[in-house]
Structure 1
Amino acid sequence: MLALAGCVDLPQPYRGRPGGQAQVLAIPLAIRIAVPPPEQALLGNAQATDFAAALVAALQTEDVPVIASATPLPLDWLVEITADRQGQGRGETVRPRFRLLDADRKPQATTEGKPIPLEDWANADRALFDQVARENGPKLTQLLLQVEAARKSTDPASLTAGPPRLYMLGVLGAPGDGNASLGARMKEQLGGQGFVVQDSAEGASYGLQADVAVVPAGTRGVERVEIIWIVSRRDGEELGRVVQMNEVPAGRLNRLWGDIAYVAANEAADGVKTVVANALQAPPATSDAPKPTVPAVGGVPAPPPAATLTAPPVLPPLR
């Protein structure tokens, strides 16, 4: 079984190190990203070149196929960098912005960095550009994954039309902000895995819901947390479950879940991906026997799970 993460002040061995498979991006090798030196970022020519190089280095650490080039090839995607001034007087700042353009130079996604004091930006060196790039590289990588997954999923001519669309039905039963936090973090994690996650059933191939229970444990002052992620097919057939269990101090989750929701979703997302992968690889049924009627996505899933997961080791109980 997959285990819940520890509290903020406890060891969290998987934080920042989700495993090799989770770091492999779903980006076809045919797509290359080019980062031209920005012409509208309030920088000199040498600074612009350094900024582009810093962003390329940050994206390469995320395994993105990217180069710094003032003359991108016709089929290259682009990261367009701009910056604008905000505020007045001594509080004036510069906010860098990043826009992802496809090969047709059509905008696909945008993100922005933290504001930087105008004086620091005017005198920016490679160290500052490296810092900005490290902060925004992962955000650009996430956007690229989501854009590419959506693009591939709309190509009916492709036998590998990209990751399937998954309908996120929601999380039920968690105290505090657990329902919202777990749902939001799971959307982020699955998006990072290359899924197209949506809030409606239209066009979805799979459904995902979670049931949470917090009950007294055998030890006084300790509660047991159980999270069950249920993956179902569009016709309602249950494909598998990812189960997480751990113990927390009583009342710990009555308000904010915080890091626990993040790491719980991070660990469970790999299990959800495994269930869907098993379903995609399953051979077609050949039996002529009638199948029992099952409800559609959003209803009660059929009881027996069709996938068995090999889960990572359980983390130590929370203290």
Structure 2
Amino acid sequence: MALAIVLASCQPLPQPFQPAQFKKEGNPLLQLPDRAGVLIRPVEGMSPDTARALSDAVAAALVKRNIPAFTTSGNRQSLVLGGRVNERGTTPQIDWRLSKEDMSGGKIARIVTAAPSERTEEFAPIAARTAAAIAALIQRPALRDRTADIKKRYLYIAPISGPPRDASAILRDELEAALRRQALRVSTTMREDSLAVAGNIKLLDSKAGKKRMSVDWAVLRKDGRELGNLSQSNDVTPVELDRDWPAIAREIAVSAAKGLRELLDKIPEKAIEPPPTEG
């Protein structure tokens, strides 16, 4: 998704820039270089219901670690996690394989965990251990806290205008998670020491039956003054919006979080504090 970042008013206006990591071939909305996500296949050797429930538990554990996870279909860059029950030895185990594209090639890692019985309470600890092993393999080290240099400010994501309420809530949740992945402090309520992030989505007709989606973000201090803004845009089809909004929202959020991190690095501390009130 094309990204432009601008500091507000009294700051010298830099040339709009596009970080190298955003210059990708194909549709940037549907690409996620470092967080392509994991598609979980049902474990072989289990009953269909048990395998499906375990897949759901692993997906939930991965999402808690801010790793996109899917149990039906991923995207073109998703890794694939498959497993098979191994009953050799005294204790049944699951032999997991984390692969690129499919189980037949591009193997990245092997993970071994205990195999659960039919009891659902056994799923969560196994899923948590599996997710932890995957996170250790694919997540990059956490970045330093970028808000530490600006007096430990929190970022508050205001409700996003433009899309329907449910779609807005999905994007807001995804952005909060993506900002935390960038080691930024996020508050779910507006605090005295918060900076607000306001977002707005617009859809306009574009070529070949597509829609031009533009997403505008602004960073505001507590008196409402804008400190800087960034914009994203890309063409999408109505079918993608209806069918793939959670995945699209995740892509928007990841790119926006990187842009907001860059923007915060450029805002001087003296611009953040409102001037003292007189008398």
Deviation at 1:113, TM superposition (A): 4.9
* Corresponding position: 1:91 with 2:118: yes
Q: In the superposition, relative to structure 1, how do residues 14 and 279 fare at CA in structure 2: closer, same or farther (>3 Å)?
A: same
1:1-319 matched pairs, under 5 angstroms: 1-2=2-3, 5-7=28-30, 12=31, 14-16=33-35, 90-92=117-119, 95=122, 113-114=126-127, 131=130, 133-135=132-134, 137=136, 160=149, 163-175=152-164, 177-217=166-206, 219-254=207-242, 256-280=244-268
Deviation at 1:239, TM superposition (A): 0.9
Q: In the superposition, relative to structure 1, how do residues 14 and 132 fare at CA in structure 2: closer, same or farther (>3 Å)?
A: closer
Q: In the superposition, relative to structure 1, how do residues 271 and 200 fare at CA in structure 2: closer, same or farther (>3 Å)?
A: same
Measure, in 1, the Cα distance between the counterparts of 2:272 and 2:135. Answer: 43
Deviation at 1:14, TM superposition (A): 2.5
Measure, in 2, the Cα distance between the counterparts of 1:267 and 1:169. Answer: 18
Q: Secondary structure at the match of 2:155?
A: strand
Residues 176, 257 of structure 1: 8 Å contact kept: no
Measure, in 2, the Cα distance between the counterparts of 1:187 and 1:5. Answer: 20
Q: Secondary structure at the match of 2:245?
A: coil
CA offsets 1:262-311 (integer angstroms, 9 cap, x no match): 111101111111222222356799x9xx99xxxxxxxxxxxxxxxxxxxx
Measure, in 2, the Cα distance between the counterparts of 1:274 and 1:191. Answer: 14
Measure, in 1, the Cα distance between the counterparts of 2:158 and 2:138. Answer: 25
Q: In the superposition, relative to structure 1, how do residues 236 and 194 fare at CA in structure 2: closer, same or farther (>3 Å)?
A: same
Aligned identity (percent) is: 21
Aligned length: 180
Could you say which structure has the higher helix fraction? 2
Moved over 6 A (4+): 83-86, 138-142
Q: Secondary structure at the match of 2:159?
A: strand
Residues 166, 198 of structure 1: 8 Å contact kept: yes
Residues 114, 126 of structure 2: 8 Å contact kept: no
Q: Secondary structure at the match of 1:277?
A: helix
Deviation at 1:95, TM superposition (A): 4.4
| Structure 1 unpaired stretches of 5+ | 18-82, 98-111, 116-128, 154-158, 292-319
Measure, in 1, the Cα distance between the counterparts of 2:137 and 2:173. Answer: 18
The structure number with the bigger radius of gyration is: 1
CA offsets 1:133-154 (integer angstroms, 9 cap, x no match): 4235489999x98xx96xx98x
